[in-house]
Amino acid sequence: MYTIIYHNIPSQEIIDKLTAGISAYAQEQKGLAAIESFAFSISDADNKLYGGCNGYMYYGCLYIDQIWVEASMRNQGWGAKLMQAAEELGSLHQCLFASVNTMDWEALGFYQKLGYEIEFVRTGYLNNSRLYFLRKDF
């Protein structure tokens, strides 16, 4: 008998198994390379984390899932440096474009300054929020 189990903090093992399964199917159906995850971090000499970004490279897309910089370090160029590092990685892996999402109250202007353009907008979120899907071609 099979059961569906909820994991509020999924293990890396579960995430890796899902990614491997999707990658295998993409290889079988379209001859596409495996999905690769990535992360960059901002740390001090004591390995204290002050920010970073993470995401995936898949099927010619560099998808930046999360980016965060500690409040005391914002407006000093760290976010742009993280984005640049991710974009360079994507280019190195022959990605054709980068993609990122942001809510209307988050960082839309930041991404636009970096050359990202709105691809589409999704409405219907709580408090009349909007989610922007942005893209930057390489």
pLDDT in tens, 94-134: 999 999 999 999 999 999 999 999 999 999 999 999 999 99
Whole-prediction pTM: 0.92
End-to-end alpha carbon distance in the chain: 48
Nearest to 68 by CA among 10, 36, 120, 110: 110
pLDDT digits (tens, 9 = 90+) for 17-72: 999 999 999 999 999 999 999 999 999 999 999 999 999 999 999 999 999 999 99
3-state secondary structure of 104: coil
Question: How many angstroms separate the CA atoms of 134 and 136, rounded?
Answer: 7
pLDDT digits (tens, 9 = 90+) for 35-49: 999 999 999 999 999
Q: What is the DSSP string of 29-80?
A: HH-PPPPEEEEEEEE-TT--EEEEEEEEEETTEEEEEEEEE-GGGTTSSHHH
pLDDT computed for residue 136 by the predictor: 98
pLDDT computed for residue 75 by the predictor: 94
Is the distance from CB of 56 to CB of 36 less than 8 angstroms?
A: yes
Q: Which residues of 10-41 are buried (b: 16+ CB within 10 A; e: fewer)?
A: eeeeeeeeebeeebeebeeeeeeeebeebebe
Nearest to 116 by CA among 68, 80, 85: 80
